[in-house]
Structure 1
């Protein structure tokens, strides 16, 4: 069975939007797999975007490691943004800019909804949104 794949969304230049393959690089969703896939990609000496967005902080940190080992300076050469605001995001160097999701609030709402369903008080479907927060740290820089 093939490994589950994650994505790294690239901040592409205008001509990149015509080619879907250039907008997302697929990497494994594991720490070592993401590192290996990014390292292999960098070995091809591709033209890189100004920034990457990773599905989660583990993928981001692993890919940042590969970039640094290939001589790239973060964020001077490439910015990186993760997702989850995991504890590792502020202990790596550079500290990872990330998207923080209010997991506790989301969990509380989920428990409340589940309880309502079990008690038969509510049989309608709801879409619940949470407001993420951009946590700006050292892995990204403003270009404009």
Structure 2
């Protein structure tokens, strides 16, 4: 949950695991073609200052929440604008806080991955949390 210590610890742990995982498996030349999406812009800033400081990966975000989001006013992040032509692999870090994050992941898949050689990895997406109204989304992402 937002603002709780356990959630922050889980996200920080996930961030560290992503870095360790990709340090072991992704060559430097491919790391520059890997874009890691975090749930929000403030997570990107935290990652740049801590776990991903000096890393060659491209860091980005999938949602841009605001104070007005509770009133259904938010800035839509278009995934087509976030993806760059040289991007080869996308990693989405822990998109589970709300369903809008998973809808953006679906948009990323449809616009940038489906039908080409790019890859998408959802890291700690907790797909089991998706309610019955979004089961088709979860199946589409597999």
- Normalised to the residue count of structure 2, the TM-score between the two structures is 0.39
Bigger Cα Rg = 1
- Normalised to the residue count of structure 1, the TM-score between the two structures is 0.39
